[in-house]
Amino acid sequence: MTVAVFSFYLFAVVLITAAVLVITSKNPVHSVLWLIVCFFNAGGLFILLGAEFLAMLLVIVYVGAVAVLFLFVVMMLDIDFATLRRGFLSYLPLGLVVAGVILGEVLFAVGSWVPGRGVMMFDELVSAPDGMTNTQWIGSVLYTRYLFVFQAAGLVLLVSMIGAIVLTHRQRVGTKRQNIGQQVARTPANAVHPAQPGIGQGIDL
């Protein structure tokens, strides 16, 4: 058994176990932590495939940003997961039936699977052209061949940003905001008020 095969099974088993724990753990914070374990192991699988750029992206973007954001959301929202879970048992049979049907479909599909033209199997994976790193290779198709969908994906993100602002942003009255222009334009003349009160007298403000 080579090291590669051993590490594949190690990563795969830990990945699947962690994935099961994500949906079964009672505490949502634990779920997010298991999710992070998942992401790390998926990154390991990518490295085994020779896609080190994707592996790093997965760790940096998903573990570094997305999972931490999840953690924030889970901790900040006051959701009682026990009540959300209450119907779990009564819906379980139906869920299992649906899952069973889909599993059956997958088995049928994979069982009859003959790789189509152009689908590359692992042993015939081409490596990047000489002198090109993995990252360069992705970049060279991302901004040329897939320019259209790349830009369109940017628009999808723009829509979600507009949507978040439209649906949640409220202009409250009476909030005090920092006005940097005003702060910079402030001079001693309009900020300081020299006074020379006589003895025993107060200051009129």
CA-only gyration radius of the chain, Å:
29
- Shortest separation between residue 183's beta carbon and another protein, angstroms: 22
Q: Which is nearer to another protein, 75 or 141 (CB)?
A: 141
C-alpha angle 70/76/80, rounded to 5°? 95
Taking the least distance from each CB to another protein, the nearer of 115 and 174 is 115
The helix (H) or strand (E) run that includes residue 135 is helix 134-142
- Residue 157-186 contact track with another protein, rule CB under 8 A, x = bound: -xxx-xx-xxx-------------------
Taking the alpha carbons of 14, 16, 17, 22 in that order, is the dihedral positive or negative? positive
According to the binding rule CB under 8 A, does residue 4 interact with another protein?
no
Q: How far apart are CA 57 and CA 47, in angstroms?
A: 11
Site string for another protein, 64-103 (x = CB under 8 A): ----------------------------------------
Reduced to 3 DSSP states, what percent helix, strand and coil does the chain have, rounded to the nearest 5?
70, 0, 30
**For binding to another protein (CB under 8 A), which residues are involved?**
105, 108-110, 112-119, 144-149, 151-153, 155-156, 158-160, 162-163, 165-167
